[in-house]
Amino acid sequence: MIPIYLIVAGATGIAANCCNCGIKYTESGDGEEKQINPLQAVVQPFLFAWFICGNVWIYKNYEPNYNDPTSPNYCDKTLYLFAFWVTTSYYIVFGAVLIIICLVGLCMGAAAWTNKRTRERKNETTDRRRDEQTDDGRTN
């Protein structure tokens, strides 16, 4: 099933990318809202479901028999390792992107909090000076 998974995923991915390219070149520059291509609405969920199926087939047969072609667990070593590492790399990239997004969000939150605290302190200092000047004006 792994060779079929790779062939279908590759062909469907190429078809999905071709549909996207065709849409970008045929859109008019009138500022109209982009409509979802019905073909993309079908292809993208299919690719997601197919990716899940591929995960099941690849990880279920982890370390298949590379030597005996008559074995039910046989899989070509190059084919299996390619599928395994391509699938695993998707998870690695997804995890790295997720961590980066979280870190950027934390940094932005910390910067906003620091900026708010700085403005509050500045306002307190300004208010204190204004009060001191008002008190000095009354005593003179």
More confident residue, 5 or 35: 5
- Work out the average pLDDT over 29-45: 72
Mean pLDDT of 82-91: 94
- Which pLDDT score, from 0 to 100, does residue 34 have? 63
Q: What is the pTM of this model?
A: 0.67
Burial class, 53, CB count within 10 angstroms (exposed 0-12 / middle 13-18 / buried 19+):
middle
Beta bridge partners of residue 65, listed in sequence order: 74
More confident residue, 118 or 23: 118
